Amino acid sequence: MISLLRSKFNRGPKRAVCLSADAVTVYHWQNNDITDSFQFDADETGRFHFARYLQETPLLTTYVLVDVVEEEFRQDTIPHVTGSDRKSVLERKSNRNFRNSPYAYHMLQGRQKEGRRDDKVLLTALTKPDAITPWIKLLEQNKVPLAGIYSLPIMSKSLLKPLEAKSSNVLLVSMGSASGLRQTYFRDQQLQVSRLAKLPRYGTTPYASYVLAELEKLYQYLKNLRVLSREEPLDIYILAHGEVLVDLNNRIKDTSLTRYHLIDVATLSREIGVEGVLTTPFSDYLFAHTLLSNTPQNHYGSKNDTHYFSMHQARVGLYAASILTLLAGTTWGGYNFISGISLKHQSTKTAQEASYYQSRYEIAKKNLPPTVVEPAEIKSAIDIIDTLGQHKSTPFLMMSTVSKVLNRYPSLQIDGIDWTVNADPNTHPYETNSLIEDEQGIEKGDYQYYQIATLKGHLTPFDGNYRKALSMVKRFANTIKDEDNVHHVKIDSMPLDIRPESKLSGAADENERREAIFAVTVILGVANET
């Protein structure tokens, strides 16, 4: 049998599937409220209609809420460990306590106050998987994105805050239309025990006497377990409505051990944001709204169960990333387009200004008197003079030193001199910032700066005696090195390359001899310009 509780199938961003022993109820959620609900019998016919429903509705994100008798809760302790060690210990505990159930969960509930101060843990499991597995399989077959499988007793802790239930002993009692009477005990805000009892069909038997009888059974059970706090009485919060609430109010009476708090489900629902008015004592709608409005951490769903939900999240993430990339690309493209227009405008304006100043320059140039040298050469000369002025130095000292030595070697003819001034003695005069080829480099002395000159010349006359030419160039270099203020002398090239890696070549005819060309770099250290 399938019954429609409110309206026809409707699209929505997500839904809750509430599983109980007798029925499965589906709630659709849209615009922060439940819009539609559908109920299916928990049998073969109901599963057939549920499968058809899944085929005819969109692939909505689905949250399964379980409220069945076959859910066990066991208190235990584990050593205080963290990370993978804690995970391994908890898995072993769950496997030992619930060997045949794929639906197991655990919650840490603080630490013991004495001894080793072990961690207190609550182990829970659905001990009869067959009650929910067929429904989970249908969701999987239809590729429904299942976000998780949730326990109603565990989730009911979220109602303690709106109920302002702050005492040490709290018993929360609610009624489900298809599940029954749910009684959940909290000790210091931590779930300890939960029990589900069958309820008669609504309207056939007064609920008040039945509820109170079940409460007495649970109270005796808690006393036997010795979980009740002796410092405070047991605060019992009963969620109901209408005649059931009135009847309970007439029957209950507070004692030194128990205090009753009757809560109208309709009033509580409005306080937490449920629209509309509830007219029954059942809390199904309230729990579904709580689940869909503030989804807790997944309890029983495995990775296989939530596989399609993970794919759905990845797809949504990729879609969002694509949108952001598109927006970023569009924004960046628009910015580049505007920048291009601006640069084009600036380029046109700059070209016009350049043309204007070029024409003005040509006009001014025509009015200048004729000169022997070109303006560019004049500019180069001015730059050289400016450089010399910055260093406050002239080549006089270098020229006088070189001339004095050359008077002793009339056979050495100088073809050119490259001269520069620099604070680094390793600077080459005709290759800016390049080092003179020396294995160790030239160490700096106690000088303010250096005058560096490369002398390029040849021997004349040259009779082909390279040994004599080599000896003369070496003696010339050593003579200059002995002069005052000479910091270093290096022979850059010799009349004949005698290095091992060089290749010798020449002509057999004596009339075809090469010139004896040489190059020597002289470095003078200047300590004080004066």
Q: Which tens digit of pLDDT belongs to each residue from 474-522?
A: 999 999 998 888 889 999 888 886 666 555 554 444 444 567 899 999 9
Of the listed ranges 4-8, 32-36, 84-88, 467-471, the least confidently predicted one is 4-8
User: Per DSSP, which regions of 31-139 are E strands?
Assistant: 33-41, 61-66, 71-78, 104-111, 119-126
Whole-structure pTM value = 0.61
**Does residue 55 register a pLDDT over 80?**
yes
Structure tokens at 395: 């080549």
What is the spatial distance between Cα 480 and Cα 476, in angstroms, rounded to a whole number?
6
Higher pLDDT, 372 or 393: 393
Q: Which tens digit of pLDDT belongs to each residue from 89-111?
A: 888 888 888 888 899 999 898 88
User: Per DSSP, which regions of 127-227 are E strands?
Assistant: 146-151, 169-176, 180-187, 190-197
Residue 53 — very low, low, confident or very high, per pLDDT cuts 50/70/90?
A: very high
Average pLDDT, the chain: 85
**Does residue 530 register a pLDDT over 60?**
no
The predicted pLDDT at position 1 comes to: 45
Q: Percentage of residues in the chain with pLDDT exceeding 90?
A: 43
Residues in CB range of 492: below 8 A, 6 or more apart: 436, 437, 454, 519, 520, 521
Task: Say if residues 127 and 101 touch (Cβ distance below 8 Å).
Answer: yes
- Residues constituting the chain: 530
User: Per DSSP, which regions of 242-336 are E strands?
Assistant: 258-264
Residue 321 — very low, low, confident or very high, per pLDDT cuts 50/70/90?
A: confident
What is the spatial distance between Cα 49 and Cα 40, in angstroms, rounded to a whole number?
7
Q: How far apart, in Å, are the Cα atoms of 54 and each of 4, 95, 413?
A: 15, 33, 105
Sign of CA dihedral 220, 223, 228, 231: positive
The predicted pLDDT at position 41 comes to: 94
**Does residue 68 register a pLDDT over 50?**
yes
Q: Which tens digit of pLDDT belongs to each residue from 435-458?
A: 344 545 777 777 888 889 999 999
Q: How far apart, in Å, are the Cα atoms of 79 and each of 88, 114, 451?
A: 12, 13, 81
Burial (Cβ within 10 Å: 0-12, 13-18, ≥19) of residue 465 = middle
What is the spatial distance between Cα 25 and Cα 288, in angstroms, rounded to a whole number?
10
The predicted pLDDT at position 460 comes to: 87
What is the spatial distance between Cα 76 and Cα 329, in angstroms, rounded to a whole number?
56
Task: Say if residues 180 and 199 touch (Cβ distance below 8 Å).
Answer: yes
Q: Which tens digit of pLDDT belongs to each residue from 226-240?
A: 888 777 899 999 999
Query: The tokens 């569009």 sit on which residue?
Result: 330
Query: The tokens 């100043």 sit on which residue?
Result: 357
Residue 11 — very low, low, confident or very high, per pLDDT cuts 50/70/90?
A: very low
What is the spatial distance between Cα 250 and Cα 319, in angstroms, rounded to a whole number?
58
